[in-house]
Structure 1
Amino acid sequence: MGFIFGMLVPAAFSQTRQTPKQYIERYDQDAVAEMLKSGVPASITLSQGMLESDYGNSKLAKEAKNHFGIKCHSTWTGGRYTMDDDAKDECFRVYNSVYESFVDHSDFLRRNRRYAFLFELKRTDYKGWAHGLKKAGYATNPKYPELLINIIEANNLDRFDKMEKGDLKALGGSSKDIDDNHVASSGASSGGKSTSGSKTSGKKGVQMSDNNIKYVIAEQNETTESVAKRTRLGRWQIVAYNGFQKGQAIPEGTVVYLQPKRGSFKGEQTEHVVKNGDTMWKISQQYGVKLNRLYRKNKLKKGDPIKIGQKIRLK
C-alpha cells in the first residue's frame, strides 16, 4: 500500500488546497481518539494520512473520504470508488467520514499479523513505527520511513502521542466519545501509572495491570472470538497473548490480556508462593509474565509439576 497522492491531484483540486496546519487542526482529535482505542500512535496516523492524501487534497480524500488509499479487497461491503492507480479501474473504499477512514486504517494494522510486532513498541516510538511499517511491507518506497519522520518532526506531531483521554477536549477537530470497552492497544501506554492489578473485578472496560499491560475481564459465555470482537483485536492476538486455544470458552472472571505479556514482573513482588490449584499458566496470567520466561527463570521445563509452597521467581 504505497502512497498515491502524486497521481490524485489534478489542477482542479489545487485551487483551495488544505495546508498541513489545517489538516492537523482538523483531525488531531480524531487521531488521538483512535490512538486511545487502537494503540496506533496519533503521529503515525496523522503523518500517514497527510502523506497518502496530500494533506487531504487528493481526489480520493475529497470524494471518498479515504485518507490512506485503502483498497476494497474481497471482504469490503461498503461504498466503492473506482479510479486508476497501479492498475486501471481499481476499487477503493468509501467512508461516511474521515474518522471512519482513521478507524479502518488502525483496524487494518491491528488485524494483520505482519504488523503485530509494531504494537509491542511504545506509542511514543514514532521512529520505530515508521521503520516498522516499511519492514512489514506497508509501502514499497525505500524512503517511506524518512518521509513519515520528516512530516512528524516538521509539524511536532509526536506531542499527540503523549496525550490521554483528558486531553481530547483541548484539541480541535470533531468530538469523539471514547468508549472504554473498546480502548485496547498493544504497547499503547505512554508510561503512565498502572490503575489496577491483575485481579478479576466487575468492571467491564479495559484495565491496566501492575505489569503495565491492558486487559479485560471475561464476561459470561465469552470465547476468544467474542473478546476479539468487543476489543477490536484479531482472534489470533487474544489466543497468542494469553495462551488460549482457538475458539475455546473462557471462564467468566478470567483476566484476558490485550497486549503481549512481559518478560518479567515490573511490580515490587519478586516471587510467587505456589498455592493449591496454581499452575504455571495461572501464575503467568496473574502477573502478566510470559510463560516461557517463567519456566526459564525457575530452571523448569515446560510441563514440569510445581508444588504447594514452592517459590516461583517473577524477575
Structure 2
Amino acid sequence: MKKIIVFCLLASLVVGCGTKKVAARKKTSSKQKTEQVAVKNERRNNSVNKEVEEVVNGVGVKITSTDEYIALFKTIAQEEMRLYGIPASITLAQGILESNSGKGRLAIEANNHFGIKCHEWTGDRIYHDDDASQECFRKYNDSKYSYRDHSLFLTQRSRYAALFKLKKEDYRGWARELKKAGYATDTKYPDKLIGLIDRYRLHTYDEEVLGDVYVKYEEEIGMFSMYYVEKGDTMYSISKKFNVTIDELKDLNNLTSTVLSVGQKIRINKNATEMAVVGAGQKPTIKAVKEYRSHIVEKGETLYSISKLYDITVSELQKMNGLSDTALNIGQELRVKPTN
C-alpha cells in the first residue's frame, strides 16, 4: 500500500511539472506574436505619417506655385530641348498642366509630371483614377527622369513624327499637333498650353536655347488676329462677320468640324474685317479685330482676383468670356486684356 501511494504522488508531480512547461511555452509564443504585430503596425504608421515630397535632381522639394515650378524645371526642359528637339516651352507647359504645377498626386508620390501610363513599363508603378478607375502610371525615383521619359515618349512613337517637322520656335503649332496626334482628349488642350506659354513667357527659354537662329512666331506665320467665340456664335456667323468662307476659317485653325465652344480662339487673317452695325438703320462700320491675352485659371483664383491682376472689372471679364456667373474651373482659359 505504501508503494502504491508513493507511486501516485510521483506521477502527479511529473504531470504537474509538464503542464506548467506547456503553459509557459504557450504564453511565450503568444507574447512573441504580439510584439511582431506591434512592430509592423509601428512601421506602417511611420510610413503613412511621413510627409511625401517629390524629388528634383536628387533633392526633396515641396512646390507651392507655378513660378517655383518653372524655376525648378526650366533648366531640365532646356536640356531636353537640346538633346531631343522638343521646345522647352512646350515641355514646361505640359508639365505645369499635367502635374498642376507639381502639386498633383502623381507628381508628389510618383515624380510623374506628364501623366505617362505604364504601357510596356517594367519599373515601379502607381495606381490612380484617370479615364478609368485605378489606372497604372509610371513611377520615377526623380522628376528629371519623368522629363526624360516624356522626351523619349514623343521621339520614339511614329504618331508624333509630324511634331519634329515643325520649327522649334513654333510652339503654337506644336501645341495643336500634340492634340491632333492624340496626346490629350481635351479639345482645349492646345489653347491651354499656348495660354500658359504666353502668360509665363515660356518661349523665352526656347530663345535661350536657339540663340541667333530663333525666329519670332509672329514673323514666321504672318499677320493674324484672334477672335474669341461668344455665346450664340457659329462658324457660319463668324465667316459672315469677317467676310471669309467657312473653309478658310477651318484651314486657318486646323479644324475638321464646325463645332465651336464659348471662349475658343479662332485665328482670323488680318486682311479680314468685322462688319458691325452701330445702330438701327445706320450704315455698317468697320472695326479691327482685337487680340486678347489668355489667363489659365489656377487653384484658389476667382473672377475678382483675376480682375485685379489685369486691372479690369469683373463685369468686363464676364462679358469678354460670355460668362453668366462667377464660377470658374481650374485650367479654364479666360481672355483678359487686349495685347495692345
| TM-score normalised over the length of structure 2 | 0.44
Bigger share in helix:
2
Structure showing greater Rg: 2
